[in-house]
A and B are shown apart, each in its own frame.
Chain A
Amino acid sequence: MGSIGKIVIPRLGRAIVTLWLVVTVVFVVLRFSGDPVSLLLPSDASQQQVQALRVELGLDESIPVQYGRFILEVVKGDLGESLRFNQPALDLVLDRFPATALLALVAFTVAAVVGLGVGSLTAFARGSVLDRAAIALMGILQSAPSFFLGIMLILLFSVELGWFPTSGYGSPSQLVLPALTLSALTLASIARITRTSLLDVLRADYIRTARSKGLPERLIWSRHALRNAALPLTTTLGLELAELLAGAVIVETVFAWPGIGRLAIDSVAARDYPVVQAAVLLIATIFVIINLLVDLSYLALDPRTRNG
């Protein structure tokens, strides 16, 4: 327990500093790069009306004053109202979160299962035709832009074969194509990392020792190779999951999926400050939590960290 505390408490402190930095950078960058009032009001709005709206939205104050007020509100848990939706920004972001989480988790599961499988298989059969074919395929998946891959999948599975709908959110069949598209890149990187980590481990001294003392190959893999390769893999898996949960603007756009990524991008374009801030805060929090979980998993996987 003590060791968990030792790991968690300093990390929690760092997490809060990270969140503060992220939110501050977003706050400053947004405010120096465009004007929401000009986009909200029609072009014939009078100067008085523009000024009145600035006052109403608190945009007439200096940026340090706006910032101070913003931080106070955030501490109180209030992220403000969306300028476009006229609804609490956090509600809007949280409303989109189930769609993003569903897509991310399904894509991640596909990527993790297939990626780990392909990675182990190719490491095991390194140098074979299967290995080389798989590496080539992973290269294609990793370099195909997701809008291209997405549209190709739509043309094949929707327009030609009629198996799945092209787009939308609501039924399981609508989830298939966006999840496949989104999983492609992650799948390829997981497969590559798995293969490389396994090959690294298999070259290690302790494996040679295990082999020389006549341990069966099956036990070498399960007891030594996979377990040691799991460390770098856990970090990769954690980061990939966090990235998927941050929303995938392109996949969401191609498949009309109502996730956080599209909301955030639309809100940036409209300079809808509160929504952008809420979305970034949520995404940063997800990253921080997942990183913390990855660190904790090291405790279980690597005995050395328990004494540190």
Chain B
Amino acid sequence: MLTNRRQVIQSATVATGLAMTGNVADSARADARQATPSIDTLRIAMSGLPTQLDPQTDTFIVMIRIYNMVYDTLIQRDWANGGGLIPGLATSWTQVDETTLELTLREGVVFQDGSPFTANDVKFTFDRTLEGNARLAATGRYGLAEVQVVDDLTVRMITDGPRGTLLSLIADLGSEIVPATYFQQVGYEAFQRMPIGTGPYRVTEFIPDTRITLTAHTDYWGGAPAVSNVEIRPIPEVSTRVAALINGEIDMAMDLPPDQIPTVEEDGRFAVSTVSPLNINILAIVGTKPPVDRREVRQALNISIDRQSIVEQLFGGLAVWPTGLQSTLDPLYIERPQIPYDPDGARRLLETAGYAGEEIRLAYDSPNYYPLEQEWTEVIVAGWADVGLNVTMSPLELSQREAITAEDDWGLYTTSMGNIADVDLPLVVASATAEYQILHTPGQFDELNAIVAQAQQTVDEAQRRDLTRQALEFLEDFTMVLPLFTINRNTASLATISFQETPLFGIDLRPGRFTVTN
């Protein structure tokens, strides 16, 4: 395996060396300045490049984007129509009994090396999660007991008990199908750098921190992609990314904070697409030490946040003020009223609680992880001060935030979570098995744990929806997780390109979801 990896590095070095001798960038820029209508290579810049590309190993945003181009899942989500489940590499599925899901696979699908996709690849992909490999994010995720190959195009997933959330998980991250034969040929480490999948684009060059080049998979089962090549470049600094777009060096700039949108729109050649992702920023209460041990204090914190003003003024409307911990794209979405802004109510609650200005420490990410995080945190803290809540801001590095425990002297910390109930509610609770749950107070939530565990084991959708409602009501009542808002993800691209990042952070260049007009 080592030789393979070295070859990749060597060829990458050679490629760079060649580019140094020619005026590649110069001529590319000159072309773009003339605004050539047809695009042969789509050049996308984002804030960073992935460090590896095995979809089951890590699920960082920059990686997910590329996974979406390289791989397919068995079941997809129909983002344009409410987020329901639609066929992907599987054309149909039936629940044979409470613990058996049978999937019929799409015929005639080939991987990017031309080899056919069969049930063996499905078995290989999900078997990887059963090997106990600690490095894989997908390990142990599905509650699977066994994956059975019935024939080339039929596969059965046997779970260790009833698993109502299995379909959601199969459509989620970490469930992209990897090719059994190719993977075993090249090995894990080489696959992380030069993967293949059944998706619309194949990785043909991967130079860490410099660029990833992808080439169209012309035999893609969904039809040939609209653009022959895609080049992904990391431009970490936002101002540079925008300048590169205006200068014609790139066709698309992702990770655009709201304050940069006017600059891009003023130019006239670009369109900005915006999407509300499956992610919600939250404030979590740490532990049950005074004064946040009193529910009235927690409720006062919750209703004295002016979410609407933050969404409208700070984010220019490019954020969503949610009704709870659920996205409207959740198939189990339950309509609820928006969280009120009621400073007077908060003052009354604090009086009832006998709160006398005790300090509450709020840990937030430094350096900021989300756009405008410092600003919104300051606005929230100022609003709290207005109603008499004494909250102090303490910056905390990301690698330390994850290790916050109930014993720490924090009152609150900022974090974020997914907002599809089936997939994400199990993360909230202080269960015995999850290490980095959002709430750090084991024993406080036995009732919630029981509801969520039951939902995971319920196959019937109506029952699962009811259990989800109970869980959300419990959380709201207990007020240990304060939903803030969902911040839109913005991408600027040439106006001739019709593109939208998926709510799950993917770059979806599949025919029909991405077009270039000439």
Using CB atoms and an 8 Å cutoff, list the residues of chain A in contact with chain B: 33-36, 38-47, 49-50, 52-53, 55-56, 82, 84-87, 91-92, 95-96, 98, 147, 151, 154-155, 158-159, 162, 165-174, 253-256, 258, 262-263, 266, 269-271
Interface string of B207-248 (1 = CB under 8 A from A): 111100000000000000000000001111101100110110
Partner of B247, one of A40, A86, A162: A162
Contact B239 A154 (CB under 8 A): yes
Given A44-B141, A166-B247: A95 touches B9 (CB 8 Å cut-off): yes
Q: Which residues of B contact A42 (CB under 8 A)?
A: 59, 137
Contact A35 B434 (CB under 8 A): no
Stretch at the interface among B25-33, B154-162, B330-338, B343-351: B25-33
Q: Which residues of A contact B52 (CB under 8 A)?
A: 84-86
Q: Which residues of A contact B24 (CB under 8 A)?
A: 170-171
Q: What distance in Å separates the Cβ of A270 from its nearest Cβ neighbour in chain B?
A: 7
Distance between Cα atoms of A92 and B12 in the complex (Å):
12
Contact A263 B209 (CB under 8 A): yes
Distance between Cα atoms of A40 and B237 in the complex (Å):
24
Given A34-B397, A166-B240, A253-B236: A173 touches B134 (CB 8 Å cut-off): no
Distance between Cα atoms of A95 and B234 in the complex (Å):
17
Contact A95 B243 (CB under 8 A): no
Partner of A49, one of B140, B243, B244, B246: B140
Q: Which residues of A contact B5 (CB under 8 A)?
A: 87
Known: A52-B134, A85-B52, A162-B247. 5 other contacts (CB 8 A): A33-B400, A40-B58, A95-B12, A151-B240, A166-B240
Distance between Cα atoms of A218 and B243 in the complex (Å):
49
Taking each of A53, A55, A168, A266, which has the highest tally of chain B beta carbons within 10 Å of its own beta carbon?
A168
Partner of B240, one of A82, A85, A154: A154
Q: What distance in Å separates the Cβ of B391 from its nearest Cβ neighbour in chain A?
A: 24
Q: What distance in Å separates the Cβ of A150 from its nearest Cβ neighbour in chain B?
A: 8
Contact B234 A256 (CB under 8 A): yes
| B471 sits at the interface (CB 8 A) | no
Contact A34 B59 (CB under 8 A): no
Contact A173 B141 (CB under 8 A): no
Partner of A38, one of B234, B244, B427, B436: B436
Distance between Cα atoms of A95 and B16 in the complex (Å):
11
Distance between Cα atoms of A5 and B226 in the complex (Å):
67
Contact A258 B247 (CB under 8 A): no
Distance between Cα atoms of A38 and B397 in the complex (Å):
12
Q: Which residues of B contact A168 (CB under 8 A)?
A: 25, 233, 235, 249
* Contact residues, B394-426 vs A (CB, 8 A): 397-400, 402-403, 417, 426
Query: What are 7 A-B contacts defined by CB distance under 8 Å?
Result: A43-B417, A47-B434, A86-B52, A95-B9, A158-B247, A254-B237, A266-B48
Partner of A258, one of B9, B210, B434: B210
Q: Which residues of A contact B482 (CB under 8 A)?
A: none
Measured CB to CB, the nearest residue on chain B to A151 is: B239
Interface string of B106-143 (1 = CB under 8 A from A): 00000000000000000000000000101101011100
Question: What 8 pairs across the A-B complex have the smallest Cβ distances?
Answer: A34-B399, A38-B402, A52-B134, A53-B134, A170-B19, A258-B209, A171-B25, A84-B51
Q: Which residues of A contact B400 (CB under 8 A)?
A: 33-35
Q: Which residues of A contact B208 (CB under 8 A)?
A: 85, 92, 95, 258
| B433 sits at the interface (CB 8 A) | yes
Q: Size range of the interface on B?
A: 35 or more
Distance between Cα atoms of A116 and B58 in the complex (Å):
50
Partner of A35, one of B29, B134, B403: B403
Contact A165 B134 (CB under 8 A): no
Distance between Cα atoms of A254 and B426 in the complex (Å):
40
| B435 sits at the interface (CB 8 A) | yes
Q: What distance in Å separates the Cβ of A7 from its nearest Cβ neighbour in chain B?
A: 37
Q: Which residues of A contact B255 (CB under 8 A)?
A: none
Distance between Cα atoms of A45 and B426 in the complex (Å):
11
Q: Which residues of A contact B132 (CB under 8 A)?
A: 52
Q: Which residues of B contact A254 (CB under 8 A)?
A: 237, 239-240
| B484 sits at the interface (CB 8 A) | no
Contact B20 A172 (CB under 8 A): yes
Contact B240 A167 (CB under 8 A): yes
* Contact residues, B302-319 vs A (CB, 8 A): none
Measured CB to CB, the nearest residue on chain A to B137 is: A42
Distance between Cα atoms of A47 and B240 in the complex (Å):
42
Distance between Cα atoms of A151 and B358 in the complex (Å):
45
Distance between Cα atoms of A33 and B296 in the complex (Å):
35
Distance between Cα atoms of A297 and B256 in the complex (Å):
51
Distance between Cα atoms of A166 and B16 in the complex (Å):
18
* Contact residues, B1-45 vs A (CB, 8 A): 5, 9, 12-13, 16, 19-20, 22-26, 29, 33
Contact B25 A45 (CB under 8 A): no
| B189 sits at the interface (CB 8 A) | yes
Contact B434 A158 (CB under 8 A): no
Q: Which residues of A contact B278 (CB under 8 A)?
A: none
Q: Which residues of A contact B367 (CB under 8 A)?
A: 269
Interface string of B165-199 (1 = CB under 8 A from A): 00000000000000000000000110010000000
